Amino acid sequence: MTLRFRLWKPVAAGPIVMWGATTLAPETNGATMVAISVLDLVPVNEGESAGDALRKSIDLARHAEGLGYTRYWVAEHHNMTGIASAATAVVIGQLAAATSTMRIGAGGVMLPNHAPLIIAEQFGTLESLFPGRIDLGLGRAPGTDQLTMRAMRRDPHAAHDFPRDVMEVQAYFEPAEPGQSIQAVPGAGLNVPLWILGSSLFGAQLAAELGLPYAFASHFAPEALMQALSVYRERFRPSQQAKTPHAMPGISVIAADTDAEARRLFTSQQLRFLDMIRGTRGKLKPPVDDIDQHWAPHEKMQASQMLRYAFVGSPETIARELSAFITATRANEIMATAPIFDHAARKRSFAILAEVAQGLTPARDAA
């Protein structure tokens, strides 16, 4: 019998069927809190190696787990000297081995770069080693440039098959049927929660149709956030994985004890976006005293638009701005990235965010 692709079917009203060991939105002492999670791009600092960046990420994951973060994701990028998470599944395995309770996952795997069977086997292996703790976020972007796409032997038209590829991954995680000719081993019958990632309406529509949780990349592509969330919620069809929509926008949070200190730390990320605009991506630069000395007015405008959802400041500033963002988006969960050059300052930023989040509650009508 050949492998059959099956869309997770809508379910009737009743108890929610969740995959994995934890629910999507945790409750603490009977009061629902906004779940907070970490997106770690594993930034490589100027003057340091990819190995240094990976070791810092392991330390940051342990730190985030101690602070009560819900999940910790890394993302697939290729041929980028400033990002060390190209071998995403390998990095996830190291992070999961260094922690014990926090969910670890991909935010995400760029599925058109891979055969769905290989991804199912990789994440089935991770789930077998770390049961109930692995997430699989799937995106359709290349995660790199056109030249590197060719080096990866990627089919330039593969993104068109993304919905079918997602369904194929789903099928491999279904229990194997008698006589099934192709199985993911490990993988078949394992509860690996899938997420759809996106920065446009395409991902929102697909996540809604499949009844999957949805993560939006508003930390660098903010334009379509509100419309995408609206489409996702309006069109959501309950599935075996999720009875209700679960939206997780990505943001940047650069927090420090004072607004001035946070703004200075933020200049490293501003310089990174400036490099992207100029097509000269490199390693993460140290902060500077006056960012306006480094860019032209039109570059400042473009970078500022891309960083619209960067929250920068003291605990009081972060609390005020983040509360307004959660109210506006009705986010069920937020995933924060913090590309801060100094590792101790980065850990401090996540500690401040964790403290601030304890005082935040979801919007009343959030699903």
pLDDT over 90 percentage in the chain: 80
Residue 177 is assigned to a structural domain of this protein: yes
Residue 267 lies in a domain: no
Query: Distance from CA of residue 143 to its chain's centroid?
Result: 13
Q: By CB neighbour count within 10 A (0-12 exposed, 13-18 middle, 19+ buried), where does 56 fall?
A: buried
Tokens, residue 46: 């100027």
Check which CATH number belongs to the domain holding 226 and give it: 3.20.20.30
Strands (E), 240-309: 247-255
The b/e string for 132-144 (b: 16+ C-beta within 10 A; e otherwise) is ebbbbbbbbbbbb
Strand partners, 167: none
**In the structure encoding, which two tokens stand for residue 126, read together?**
């991770």
Domain count within the chain: 1
Measured CA to CA, the distance from residue 209 to residue 105 in angstroms comes to: 22
The per-residue pLDDT for 3 is: 37
Q: Is residue 144 part of a domain?
A: yes
Q: Say what the pLDDT of residue 20 is.
A: 29
pLDDT at position 339: 97
Q: Is residue 115 part of a domain?
A: yes
The candidate with the shortest Cα–Cα distance to 132, out of 173, 104, 168, 153, is 104
Number of other residues whose CB lies within 10 A of the CB of residue 73: 28
- Whether residue 93 is contained in a domain is answered as yes
The pLDDT of residue 322 is above 80: yes
| 6 domain residue, yes or no | no
HSE (side-chain half, CA atoms, 13 Å) at 138: 33
**What confidence tier does 19 reach under pLDDT thresholds 50, 70, 90?**
very low
On the question of pLDDT at 15 being above 90, the answer is no
**pLDDT tens-place string over residues 75-132:** 999 998 999 999 999 999 999 999 999 999 999 999 999 999 999 999 999 999 999 9
The pTM is what?
0.88
pLDDT at 155 over 90: no
- Supply the pLDDT for residue 359: 83
Whether pLDDT at 360 is above 60? yes
What pLDDT, on a 0 to 100 scale, did the predictor assign at position 348?
98
Residue 307 covered by a domain: no
Radius of gyration of the chain (CA): 20
- At residue 69, φ and ψ (nearest 5 deg) are -65, 145
pLDDT reported for residue 142: 64
Q: Is residue 10 part of a domain?
A: no
Task: State how far Cα 195 lies from the chain centre.
Answer: 9
Whether 172 and 117 have beta carbons less than 8 Å apart is answered as: yes
Query: Can you give the residue range of the structural domain that contains 233?
Result: 32-250+329-357
Q: Give me the sign of the Cα torsion angle 92, 94, 97, 98.
A: negative
Between residues 74 and 154, which one has the greater pLDDT?
Answer: 74
